[in-house]
């Protein structure tokens, strides 16, 4: 896969999503990742790294000066504060876009924060309700598999839009449609997902999660370079901690998946989750 600059005229934005959750304040790994400062946001510095790296890959170098941890923190805080006023006493999800704003001072449960960066360098954020974590530590998934994963019926070509997270999500929507999955906006849709694979038969990721397969006593995640999968923030942490190992090129293949086997997924909002592979209709 070659990561080339985007020359498309169709507008899109770079994207990242984090979790705001008071539970994160007491987790050492999140404190360490946040420059040894307790934070209610999951892996916030990793998100700014992701946005900066994606901006470089897309050729949006004009955005880099304004892409700082402080700007991202301010945008997230403003989104959380706005959501707390709109949904008093309720958990919510947060969406982010590039733009400097104020600090939040009120503690308000948990939410998803979706952050977007425009080609012009505008950072924005918005917050919405999200479900509570199933365990006390998002790095430790529940022992009971929660999700169902189906294998896509067609391959997805690796591209700049698979290796970086953007609002251009047609390839993920198409994969979900091919496997007849419910909409992500529904409860059933959030607990079912599709496993994508390349034309060469290499596994890559799911429509909203990084993926790891248990092989020889290790959790192997697809090779980012050859599969074109996103290098997600939670994937990065799990690799740094040695909990996941990056597979060699072509090592994880769709033909090696076993019906009923357990896989692990991860992203920057849910943390780690277990799910069951379903290769046949049941």
Q: Is the pLDDT of residue 97 over 70?
A: no
Measured distance CA(187)–CA(257) in Å, rounded: 26
Domains of the chain: 14-128 (no CATH), 147-277 (3.20.10.10)
Q: Is the pLDDT of residue 99 over 50?
A: no
Contact present, 119 and 64 (Cβ < 8 Å): no
Measured distance CA(148)–CA(228) in Å, rounded: 23
pLDDT grade for 87, boundaries at 50, 70 and 90? low
Query: Between 281 and 79, where is the model more confident?
Result: 79
The label of the residue with tokens 């008093």 reads: 88
Three-state SS for 101?
A: coil
Residue 238 tokens read as: 């799990």
Summarised one tens digit per residue, pLDDT across range 46-63 is 999 999 999 999 999 999
pTM of the full structure: 0.89
Three-state SS for 132?
A: coil
Summarised one tens digit per residue, pLDDT across range 64-77 is 999 999 999 999 99
């Amino acid at each position: 896969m070659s990561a080339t600059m985007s020359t498309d005229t169709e507008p899109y934005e770079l994207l990242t999503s984090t979790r705001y959750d008071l539970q994160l304040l007491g987790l050492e790994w999140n404190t360490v990742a946040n420059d040894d400062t307790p934070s209610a946001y999951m892996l916030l510095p990793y998100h700014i790294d992701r946005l900066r790296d994606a901006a470089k890959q897309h050729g949006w170098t004009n955005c880099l000066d304004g892409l700082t941890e402080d700007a991202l923190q301010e945008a997230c805080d403003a989104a959380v504060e706005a959501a707390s006023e709109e949904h008093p006493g309720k958990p919510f999800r947060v969406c982010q876009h590039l733009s400097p704003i104020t600090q939040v001072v009120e503690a308000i449960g948990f939410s998803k924060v979706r952050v977007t960066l425009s080609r012009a360098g505008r950072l924005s954020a918005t917050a919405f309700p999200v479900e509570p974590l199933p365990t006390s530590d998002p790095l430790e998934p529940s022992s009971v598999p929660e999700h169902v994963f189906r294998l896509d019926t067609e391959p997805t070509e690796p591209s700049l839009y698979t290796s970086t997270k953007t609002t251009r999500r047609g390839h993920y929507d198409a994969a979900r449609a091919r496997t007849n999955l419910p909409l992500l906006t529904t409860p059933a849709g959030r607990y079912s997902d599709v496993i994508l694979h390349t034309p060469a038969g290499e596994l890559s990721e799911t429509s909203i999660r990084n993926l790891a397969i248990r092989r020889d006593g290790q959790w192997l995640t697809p090779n980012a370079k050859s599969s074109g999968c996103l290098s997600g923030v939670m994937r990065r942490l799990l690799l740094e901690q040695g909990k996941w190992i990056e597979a060699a090129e072509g090592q994880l293949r769709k033909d090696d998946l076993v019906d009923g086997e357990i896989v692990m997924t991860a992203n920057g909002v849910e943390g780690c989750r277990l799910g069951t592979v379903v290769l046949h209709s049941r």
